[in-house]
Amino acid sequence: MVDRMLGKLATWLRIFGYDTLYIGDFDVDDEDTFLLENFQDRILLTRDKELYERSVRRGRKVVFIDSDSVIEQIREMQEFGITAEIRMVRCSVCNTLLRKPTEREAREVMKMEGIEENLMERYELWYCENCRKLYWLGSHYRNMVKFLEGLK
């Protein structure tokens, strides 16, 4: 469970295949109370020192993320055993498990997104049925790989 200050980290954790809930995906008035009282079976990741301290006092599993740089945040997570490897398992937007699209689904998304290239001919595709989003290992993937080289 990730607080609002760590939205980019939440996206990266999903890209790495980790089941990651992000507070920004929930419609709540009092985010701190929601984070403290819900999803107790999950580890809370936060940059908020006060929320961290309140979580510790309540016995909540919590990790304080020190850095405001996402590459450094990923490095901090590696200290806890997180593997920074791109895996096509979860939607980076909504956390839903990905699956192979049907030809019809792929064509519908390509039409909806104005993608003229037939991605099915060039790439292996993954599909989020919740977001109706297609994923493939194209230029965006190569940019992510290049970004992660900063961990070395």
Judged by DSSP in three states, 4 sits in helix
* pLDDT at site 106: 96
The span from the CA of 135 to the CA of 127, in Å, is 6
Predicted confidence (pLDDT) per residue in 62-103, tens digit: 999 999 999 999 999 999 999 999 999 999 999 999 999 999
The span from the CA of 63 to the CA of 23, in Å, is 15
* pLDDT at site 89: 97
Is 10 part of any domain? yes
Residue 63 and residue 14 in one domain: yes
Predicted confidence (pLDDT) per residue in 20-55, tens digit: 999 999 999 999 999 999 999 999 999 999 999 999
DSSP string, 62-87: EEE---SSHHHHHHHHHTTT------
Instruction: Read off the tokens for 149.
Output: 């080289």
Residue 57 and residue 120 in one domain: no
Q: What is the pTM of this model?
A: 0.93
| Count of H-run helices and E-run strands, the chain | 7, 4
Give the count of beta carbons closer than 10 Å to the beta carbon of residue 12: 24
Q: Which domain holds residue 23?
A: 4-78
Predicted confidence (pLDDT) per residue in 106-124, tens digit: 999 999 999 999 999 999 9
Residue 127 is given by DSSP the state: E
**Residues for the chain: how many in total?**
152
Residue 104 and residue 67 in one domain: no
Is 110 part of any domain? yes
